[in-house]
Structure 1
Amino acid sequence: MIASSLRRVMTAEDVFSVLTLLRRAEVDVWIGGGWGIDALIGAQTRDHRDLDLMHRQEQEAAVVAALSEAGFAESLSWRPIRFVVTAPDGREIDLHPLVFGGDGSATQASPEPERPFIYPSSCFVTGTVKGTTVPCLSAEQQVYFHQGYAPTDRDRHDMAQLHRIFGITTHF
């Protein structure tokens, strides 16, 4: 595992680099978390310590192979829910495998197997990072994932941004 002292922020250029690698591997991904919220807003509002990506579970081998070729190695496994890959310079990508249904909706395993995380087809949208269109999760889906736990300062910041731009009511 990469030591946390090596962790560095994930820049917009890093986001583009990762998305380019994965596009070349012909896999589908959507940005979630902090970068996903900033993509919805169309501006970077804070530093990001990682990049959260949702991917098609059946494409996971291609995702891992493409990131491995770029120097990323698995540093945390909470499969089937999620796993993290880390580059030698400390950049981290938090990967979330999704199983898609015929209607375009998806599910992700959760700590409670009988209650998977639900992704309606309408949550797969686009945003922009530095003026470039990127695939991301909707504002409503971001709010959904920020429930049921004690929020950090970053979470409060992100939800405040969604409220400011979209008028969405959040629980904190």
Structure 2
Amino acid sequence: MLPIGEMLRVLNALEAAGCEVWVAGGWGIDVLIGRVTREHHDLDLLHRAEQEPLVIGELESSGYAERPGAVPGRPARFVMTDGRGHELDLHPLHIAGDGSAVQHLDDRGAAFHYPAAAFVTGTIEGVRVRCLSVDQQVAFHQGYDPRDRDLRDMASLRAAFGVTTHF
């Protein structure tokens, strides 16, 4: 499990190093809601692709190492873990001048496209955190059979924001 203290420690270290990251996944939903709603297995972090060496260097100095063999792997994402069992799922983004972004999924041109409005700020434990918007979170929770945690996450967004989700 990755507790809130570790999430905030990682974010503080990256921010202090000048890395621009956004929290996604379950922690991203909790940041939007403003409180911890469930236990989290990992921390999904989106980062500027051009800052990847800086991000990796800072995480390595914080005790993390890249874990080979994550599926899917690069260029879409890569995983770093520490000796305490904490896991970070990192997603490189290519940010355009208008604030939108592209995440390359493979070498054949498949990609996720993020509108500029997808990048917002939430707050948890009094800390402002860059994250993905409610609309982007809902969009990413489509097209697959949901796990129990996905059902809980969407229920949390519906309750907090009155949005419609497909499950």
Which TM-score band applies after superposition, normalised by the shorter structure?
Answer: over 0.9
Runs of 4+ in 1 over 6 A off after TM superposition: none
List per-residue Cα deviations over 1:136-158 (Å, max 9, x = no partner). 11011111111121110001100
Distance across 1 between alignment mates of 2:154 and 2:108: 27
2:119 to 114, 124, 145: 124
Q: Match for 1:155: what amino acid?
A: D
| Number of residue pairs the alignment of both structures matches | 164
The DSSP-based 3-state class of the residue aligned with 1:107 is: strand
1:85 aligns with 2:77: no
Distance across 2 between alignment mates of 1:69 and 1:79: 22
Distance across 2 between alignment mates of 1:56 and 1:19: 14
**Counterpart position of 1:4:** none
Counterpart contact for 2:24–2:46, Cα < 8 Å: yes
Deviation larger for 122-131 or 37-46 = 122-131
1:139 to 118, 129, 134: 134
Query: Percent of aligned pairs with the same residue?
Result: 52
The DSSP-based 3-state class of the residue aligned with 1:27 is: coil
Name the Cα RMSD after superposition.
Answer: 1.3
**Counterpart position of 2:94:** 99
Structure 1 segment 1-172 matched on structure 2, within 5 A:
9-76=1-68, 77=70, 78-111=73-106, 113-172=108-167
Counterpart contact for 1:39–1:129, Cα < 8 Å: yes
Please give the TM-score of this superposition, normalised by the length of structure 1.
0.91
Counterpart contact for 2:74–2:105, Cα < 8 Å: no
Counterpart contact for 1:12–1:129, Cα < 8 Å: no
The DSSP-based 3-state class of the residue aligned with 1:135 is: strand
* Pairwise CA distance, 1:20: 1.1
The DSSP-based 3-state class of the residue aligned with 1:155 is: helix
Counterpart contact for 2:75–2:106, Cα < 8 Å: no
Counterpart contact for 2:22–2:119, Cα < 8 Å: yes
Distance across 1 between alignment mates of 2:124 and 2:108: 34
Distance across 2 between alignment mates of 1:110 and 1:68: 24
The DSSP-based 3-state class of the residue aligned with 1:127 is: strand
Distance 1:112 1:143, change over 3 A: farther
The DSSP-based 3-state class of the residue aligned with 2:144 is: coil
Gaps spanning 5+ residues in structure 2: where? none
